Amino acid sequence: MIFKRGILITFTGIDGVGKSTQVKLLSKYLIDSGKKVNVGESMFTYFLFKPLIRLLRSTTGSLPYGPVKRNNNPILKLWFIFAFIDIWIAYLIKIYPVIFSNDFVIADRFYTDIWANLLYYGYCPNWAFKVFAKLLPRADLPLMMSADPETIFKREREFPPEYYYDQQKIYKSLSKLLKFYTINANHDQNTVFNDIKKVLKECNV
Tell me which CATH homologous superfamily contains domain 7-202. P-loop containing nucleotide triphosphate hydrolases (3.40.50.300)
Distance of alpha carbon 46 from alpha carbon 90, whole angstroms = 8
Give me the residue spans of the domains in the chain.
7-202
Spatial neighbors of 168 by CB under 8 A, at least 6 apart, are 14, 148, 149
State the pLDDT at residue 50.
84
**For 121-178, what is each residue's pLDDT tens digit?**
999 999 999 999 999 999 999 999 999 999 998 888 888 889 999 999 999 999 999 9
β pairing state of 37-40 and 141-146: unpaired
Please compute Rg for the chain using Cα positions.
17
When pLDDT is cut at 50, 70 and 90, the band that residue 53 belongs to is confident
At 108 the three-state DSSP class reads strand
Spatial neighbors of 151 by CB under 8 A, at least 6 apart, are 185, 186
**Residue 97 one-letter amino acid:** P
Q: Which of 157, 80, 154 is nearest to 117 (CA)?
A: 80
Tell whether the model's pLDDT for residue 66 goes beyond 80.
no
**C-beta separation of 27 from 21 below 8 A:** no
